[in-house]
Chains A and B, each alone.
Chain A
Amino acid sequence: MDLNPDAIRQAIRDKVMELARNLGYDASGLQDDDIIPATGLLDSAAILELVVWYEGAYDLSIAQEEINIDNLGSVNAMTGFLLQRKAAGGG
């Protein structure tokens, strides 16, 4: 598991692009601060799929109430949330 912030951002962007492609959208223009649900590139099910991938890829367990814009709303938010969790020794 690579916890380099740039590597995390790239991995998240790649996953968003893959999920968007499945829905017929091109997410290559996604910026790291874009609010993912607001872009319309991913629907609710795809965002949940992103969360499930994120948990598996980084060995995290995310409670339902933690799925919010502050924690997981953008590539940068997801990166920050992950690093914060790992720094606190959490999974």
Chain B
Amino acid sequence: MAKPIYTPRVNNNDDQVQIIGLAVAVGDRVEPGQVLAEVETDKSIAEVESDQEGYVLDILHPLDAHAPVGSVLMWIGETRDEPVPEPVETAPEAAAIATGRPTAKARMLLRRHGLSADRVPASGERLSAADVEAWLARQGTAGAAAARPAATLPAPEVPGEAVPLSAEEQGMVHTVTWHRDQAVAAYLERPYDAAVWEQAAADYARRQGLMLSPLLSLMAYRLVELARERPKINATLVGGQRYQYAPVNLGFTVQAGDTLYLTVVRDAGALDLGGFIDALGQVQRHAMGHKLRPEETQGATLGFSSMARWGVARHIPVLPPHTALMVAHAATGPDGRAILGASYDHRVLSGFDVARLLQDLAKPPAFA
């Protein structure tokens, strides 16, 4: 029978701890006394040890998450394939951004970077150092995040050097860890005639006198329209229920130098097409200048990603935290066909939902 490992209390005054290291993965065998994870508050760090032997069945709080004290951190079973009780969900960050009183460590970081607390959103009741570091990372402030203790995995036997991750790389670890540990990610794709979309974009550009091809903007806007019509694709899972976001906050990937940003056009569903193209152009420019504003990096409720410019014919995107859909646009093949794909959280969307979405997204509407 599966037994829980609980998130420990580290300080009397802290009701949350941050998971700063995971020393095991699902399926690993563990022994009594073995370190499973490291947790941190603003005051101290503690190790979480296993009190039994067995196998890790599930990990409910990903790396960097703020976990409530007493919540189940992971489940240990006698065999690898035991059933696991339903995981406990936490509320999505995208729904609201609270600004809390900064902790001492957060105040120190704010001072160091000349920031005021009201510029940085808090993920919990209080603004933590991790919130400030994450915010700095989103602004492209490389190296702002202090090197965190590495997860206590044993070092490889082959000689090498441990290189601390940049703030951006840490953010990516957080995203892929959410995708792995929280979502039940699946992927679908369908071929489509890319020339039809390219023609629609060329016609629109000519009518509007645009210098830049609006192809990706038009496709992203079509996705926003479909999300407005079908709230289910603009959702996540919270506490066993589908949480349908009120606004459509479109996440759109932008590669700026070596940094990949997930930029966000907030409340994109409230914009008309011209306004959306302008707004997306602005966030792209801010990303390329590494000058994204906080609201341009937070709260994505669904996503769109293209790797067409690199000639990539197919890619399976990672779901941003607390989203259920990320559409993947790819390069057109020599036969004029291309692939439109989507990663999705199978807890929220069925394959049918996504197939229907891709079918509709494959055909451009008549843009005015």
Interface assignment of A82: CB less than 8 Å from any CB of chain B = no
In the complex, chain A residues 47-72 whose Cβ is within 8 Å of any chain B Cβ: 47-49, 51-52, 55-56, 64, 67-69, 72
> Which of B35-43, B89-97, B180-188, B279-287 forms contacts with chain A?
B279-287
Distance from A28 Cβ to chain B, minimum over Cβ atoms (Å): 20
In the complex, chain B residues 200-246 whose Cβ is within 8 Å of any chain A Cβ: 209-216
Task: Render B264-295 as a binary contact track against A, CB cut-off 8 A, 1 for contact.
Answer: 00000000000000100110110011000000
Task: Render B249-260 as a binary contact track against A, CB cut-off 8 A, 1 for contact.
Answer: 000001110000
Q: Which residues of B contact A46 (CB under 8 A)?
A: 309
Contact of B211 among A37, A43, A49, A52 (CB under 8 A): A37
Task: Render A7-34 as a binary contact track against B, CB cut-off 8 A, 1 for contact.
Answer: 0000000000000000110000000000
- A1 vs B289: C-alpha distance in the bound complex, in angstroms? 19
- Majority secondary structure of chain A interface residues (helix, strand, loop or mixed): helix
Interface assignment of A4: CB less than 8 Å from any CB of chain B = no
Interface assignment of B154: CB less than 8 Å from any CB of chain A = no
Total B residues in contact with A, Cβ cutoff 8 Å: 21
* Contact across chains for A64 and B282 when beta carbons are under 8 A apart: yes
Distance from A31 Cβ to chain B, minimum over Cβ atoms (Å): 18
Give A49's nearest chain B residue, CB to CB.
B288
* Contact across chains for B309 and A48 when beta carbons are under 8 A apart: no
Task: Render B128-140 as a binary contact track against A, CB cut-off 8 A, 1 for contact.
Answer: 0000000000000
Q: Which residues of A contact B159 (CB under 8 A)?
A: none
Interface assignment of A39: CB less than 8 Å from any CB of chain B = no
Give the tally of cross-chain contacts (CB within 8 A). 45
* Contact across chains for B285 and A48 when beta carbons are under 8 A apart: yes
Q: Which residues of A contact B288 (CB under 8 A)?
A: 48-49, 52
Q: Which residues of B contact A55 (CB under 8 A)?
A: 289
Give A53's nearest chain B residue, CB to CB.
B288
Q: Which residues of B contact A47 (CB under 8 A)?
A: 211-212
* Contact across chains for B289 and A52 when beta carbons are under 8 A apart: yes
Give A51's nearest chain B residue, CB to CB.
B285
Distance from B162 Cβ to chain A, minimum over Cβ atoms (Å): 30
Contact of B281 among A64, A68, A69 (CB under 8 A): A64
Contact of A68 among B211, B214, B255, B285 (CB under 8 A): B211
Interface assignment of A80: CB less than 8 Å from any CB of chain B = no
- A68 vs B256: C-alpha distance in the bound complex, in angstroms? 22
Interface assignment of B311: CB less than 8 Å from any CB of chain A = yes
* Contact across chains for B285 and A44 when beta carbons are under 8 A apart: no
Q: Which residues of A contact B211 (CB under 8 A)?
A: 37, 47, 67-69, 72-73
Q: Which residues of A contact B216 (CB under 8 A)?
A: 44
- A14 vs B31: C-alpha distance in the bound complex, in angstroms? 60
Interface assignment of A88: CB less than 8 Å from any CB of chain B = no
* Contact across chains for B311 and A67 when beta carbons are under 8 A apart: no
Contact of A44 among B209, B213, B255, B310 (CB under 8 A): B213
Q: Which residues of B contact A44 (CB under 8 A)?
A: 212-216
Q: Which residues of A contact B282 (CB under 8 A)?
A: 64
Q: Which residues of A contact B289 (CB under 8 A)?
A: 52, 55-56
Task: Render B298-315 as a binary contact track against A, CB cut-off 8 A, 1 for contact.
Answer: 000000000001110000
- A55 vs B165: C-alpha distance in the bound complex, in angstroms? 31
Distance from B285 Cβ to chain A, minimum over Cβ atoms (Å): 5
Residue of A52, A64, A72, A73 contacting most chain B CB atoms (<10 Å) = A52
Interface assignment of A45: CB less than 8 Å from any CB of chain B = yes
Q: Which residues of A contact B310 (CB under 8 A)?
A: 23
- A49 vs B285: C-alpha distance in the bound complex, in angstroms? 7
Give A50's nearest chain B residue, CB to CB.
B288
Subset of 10 A-B contacts with CB under 8 Å: A37-B211, A44-B214, A45-B254, A45-B284, A47-B211, A47-B212, A48-B285, A49-B288, A64-B278, A72-B211
Q: Knowing that A23-B309, A45-B284, A52-B288 are A-B contacts, what are 6 other residue pairs whose CB atoms are under 8 Å apart, sorted by A's residue number?
A: A23-B310, A37-B212, A43-B213, A45-B254, A51-B285, A68-B210
